Structure 1
Amino acid sequence: MPHIPRRTFLKSSALTLASPFILSTGLKGQNRAAANDRINVGIIGLGSRGFNLLNAFLADPRVQITAICDVHDLHYRDRDWGQGTLFGRIPARTKIERQYGKAYKSGSYSGLFITSDYESLCQRDGIDAVVVATPDHWHAHCTLAAIQAGKDVYCEKPVTHYFGEGQQVYKEVEKQKAVFQTGSQQRSEPLFQHAVNLVRNGVLGKIKEIEVGIPPGYDTPQGSTEVLVPPVGLDYNQWCGPSEMLPYMQARHHRWWRGHRAFGGGVLMDWIGHHNDIAHWSLDLDNDGPTVVEAVDWTFPETDVYNTPHQYTIRCEYENGVTSTIASQNELGTKWIGENGWLHVSRGKLSASEKQWKDLKYNPGKFRVQEVPSHVGNFLDCMKSRQQCLAPAETAHRSITPGHLGYVSHQLQRPLRWNAKEEVVIDDQEANKLLMAASYRKNWS
């Protein structure tokens, strides 16, 4: 993307903010493509991850991006102005219009709907699927609006910010018979699939322990803590949305927002939906969970900018006798310790006590997880077949449940006995109340 001078940006932002709805210049009419077999997609959230998904969907010939939504016109994430990649509505619009340039001229593409109002995108006729790539505190609201409007949804992980939201999302997906994919893309990668196949086929023997390694949280402010007036082109009130409207600062906005519980669950909840998801998958616990969860050794940063843990361990016990630790001091990835040896997988790396286990051509046994062309491709395939995706809503909710329980256990300073079938803490009303709590601003629910 070309550099946009601040003066030019301010002028364009003033025009953009004058109206919440923009139709691409010179284009009118419905947004459904002339080619009726195309899947029309709308994207909510156009930051770094949103652009990654935008690129993935643009690359698939089955798709047309016909709507985008964000409350920020243009930004550089956590970089200084003019440095690095551009994000937001303006660069997203430019990228899409360049991609579909020939289609614009031929009339086979009828235009791009641009808005800062997620509900208007979700309600729009002609959109088949909605991609939710917002900060965590928006996931449930955007997802439910889309599903209830009859759309299929691809939502980034963690699937929701609060535990009760996760329950509502997966139940609504089932009720509406929607196709839902969580952005836990490790499930679509060969190394992780191979590791799960090894464990599920019993190659390691009976699994005794699992070590889930996640990065530490933020121990110091990750940017400037100077309280500022939100920049022109950003609707900060709408960015905060259902959550508390904290004073605006770089250290708590783009990229770093998850350090505060108002917007996310820290690095813990950011990564648990990846590596603990693989652990649950390997134990065939996609719709189940632990029996005991306990938070131990949590430390917090010495700053009021963030209130999520810097170092943490969550101990879990499972009905099958397996114990696990989800910890910032474990090696990043997922490690299984079994009767016959150990296995560790992380992004781009597979190591094991037995050399042959590392060979992707090694035959672990009859069981095989589903191999898919890509995570986005699996979602699009399932939209056509109406089959369940590789990372469905309930599975994603169950994978991060130990994180939600970990926060409650830490607050109460005691282990929790968990009934995974009923999704309640056993004989502990105080814990259940905390687990179901959700801090919304007035007029949000």
Structure 2
Amino acid sequence: MRFSRSRRAFLRAGVAGGAFLSLPASIYRTALGADVPPSEKVRLGFIGLGGQGTGNMNAFLKHSHATVAAVCDVDSSHLAKAAGVVEKATKKAPQAEKDFRKLLDTKDVDAVVVSTPDHWHALTTVAACAAGKDVYCEKPLTLVIGEGQAMVAAARKHGRIVQTGSQQRSDARFRQACELARNGALGKVHTVKVGLPGPNFKAPGVPDSTPPAELDYEFWLGPAPARPYNEKRVHYLFRFFWDYSGGQQTNFGAHHLDIAQWGLGMDESGPVSIEATAQFNKEKWFETPEVAKITYTYANGVKILCSLGKGGYPGGTTFEGDKGSIFVDRSKITATPPEILKSTGGDVKLYVSNNHHGNWLDCIKTRKLPICDVAIGHRSATVCHLGNIAVRTGRKIAWDPAKEQIVGDAEAAKMTTKEYRAPWKLA
């Protein structure tokens, strides 16, 4: 899907100053306050309750502005454990479903948190938007680029607030680094270095086997190709197989490349060329790279140099300019020379959020676009996916960020979309 100029203007206003979507007054009658009566709390449903899904649920249980109304997972052990946590915390059993469509049908849920494997993100988010639910969708937002275009379209069509779970946007260190880079504290930024970890796959591989009784494996696969069950292709380890994810390039890249995009002011754009080299597991225990080096070039000449695995750049994001550099990760921000961090002023004032979950809840009430709106998450995921396409094809990829199309390579262009296994369709 191509963004029109009017849509771009709408997104720009939303990120910088607060575009607002229509407010369903029957559900959200007041702005967030110190004391929130039960009738004013956002009633949440959780789809996917593995490690990250449970972490999200526990975080929202601590928010006085939200209540957990429903939980959903295709693994009955995950579902039962989550339901027990909610009941213990709230003294009330939540609605529990295996099928996310039943959760979306309930009028007792205002918004959903999607923490499924990546190959389910688009289907559940688009369906939730159509059902009138706001969405918090984990990163990486998508499995392929075309899904992100559909998700943005669904959010806008149905007037939904969709937050991407790239929570580094709500960390003051990352905001400071990006503001300094965009306000000229480094001089002219010419290079951004992004370091991603290698795969933390639990070796060795194992033979295929019968799915455990607690897992509805057919439903877990959903739109992905039919394959025999293997315990090292599901749950956390799904991320190292192309059918379901994009390895650490989309896992950590959705964090650190997202910050690179933010600091370069490229939330509505992206690179124009991508080239890469990679090394893969010799035993073929998993499919995504063990080591990779990717070069992204933008139309203004700026390059992002992204490394994955051993021998790469420090984990995090480094902005380099002709007057100095800034490195930022989740524990620190440093600069060379150090006085760069004391710089103040500048015309660019970035969106301020100090709590990623809380920002989404605030925006559900106000209808202001969240700090990592679906369109931003889509653009950042696109950068990740383009790197993987260059890795998998072994060719230099030309990308038109305005049309959101790969240029001059029909085979590579096919990798921007994904054929779903019947009966699943992305409406």
The bucket for the TM-score relative to the shorter chain is 0.7 to 0.9
Aligned partner letter, 1:181: Q
The yes-or-no answer on 1:128 pairing with 2:110 is: yes
Amino acid at match of 1:93: A
Q: Which AA in structure 2 matches 1:156?
A: E
Deviations 1:365-418 (A, max 9, x none): 343222223000000000011011000111111112122222333343321221
Equivalent in 330, 339, 356 of residue 322 of structure 2: 339
Distance change in 2, residues 1:383/1:243 (3 Å): same
**Offset, 1:193:** 0.9
Change in CA separation of 1:223 and 1:304 when aligned onto 2, cut-off 3 Å: closer
- Name the SS of the counterpart of 2:235 in structure 1: coil
Q: Deviations over 1:14-56 (max 9, x none)?
A: xxxxxxxxxxxxxxxxxxx983211100000111101111011
Q: Equivalents in 1 of 2:218, 2:204: separation in Å?
A: 21
Q: Structure 1: where are the runs of 5+ without partners?
A: 1-32, 75-87, 105-110
The yes-or-no answer on 1:433 pairing with 2:414 is yes
| Shift in Å, 1:223 | 5.5
Tell me how far apart the structure 2 counterparts of residues 372 and 89 of structure 1 sit (CA, whole Å): 31
Cα separation, partners in 2 of 1:167 and 1:62, compared to 1, 3 Å: same
Q: SS in structure 2 opposite 1:381?
A: helix
Establish whether residue 352 from structure 1 lines up as the match of residue 335 from structure 2.
Answer: yes
| 2:159 paired residue number | 177
Which residue is 1:245 aligned to? 226
- In 2: Cα distance, 1:167 partner to 1:95 partner: 35
Query: Quick one: which amino acid aligns to residue 264 of structure 1?
Result: S
Larger radius of gyration: 1
Separation in structure 1 between the aligned mates of residue 372 and residue 270 of structure 2, nearest angstrom? 16
Among the aligned pairs, what percent are the same residue? Answer: 36
Larger CA deviation: 372-381 vs 229-238: 229-238
Q: Which residue of 2 aligns with 1:29?
A: none
Tell me, yes or no, if structure 1 residue 255 matches structure 2 residue 258.
no
Shift of 1:154: 0.0
TM-score normalised to structure 1 length: 0.83
CA contact (8 A) 2:44 2:110 kept: yes
CA RMSD of superposed structures (Å): 1.8
Q: Does 1:443 align with 2:420?
A: no
Alignment of 1:29-68 (within 5 A): 35-68=38-71
Alignment of structure 1 residues 26-425 onto 2, 5 Å: 35-74=38-77, 88-101=78-91, 104=92, 111-217=93-199, 221-222=202-203, 225-295=206-276, 297-328=277-308, 329-358=312-341, 363-425=344-406
Which contiguous aligned blocks of 4+ residues in structure 1 show a shift greater than 6 angstroms?
none
Q: What secondary structure, in the 3-state scheme, does the structure 1 residue paired with 2:76 have?
A: coil
Query: Residue 356 of structure 1: CA displacement?
Result: 2.7
Deviations 1:110-129 (A, max 9, x none): x5210000111112112110
In the TM superposition, residue 351 of structure 1 has moved relative to its aligned partner by 1.7
User: Does 1 or 2 have the higher relative contact order (CA < 8 Å, sep 6+)?
Assistant: 2
Distance 1:373 1:149 in 2: 29
Contact 1:294–1:406 (CA under 8 A) maintained in structure 2: yes
Q: State how far apart, in whole Å, the 1-side matches of 2:350 and 2:415 are.
A: 36
The count of aligned residue pairs is: 387
- TM-score (normalizing by structure 2): 0.87
For residue 352 of structure 1, report the CA deviation from its aligned partner. 1.2
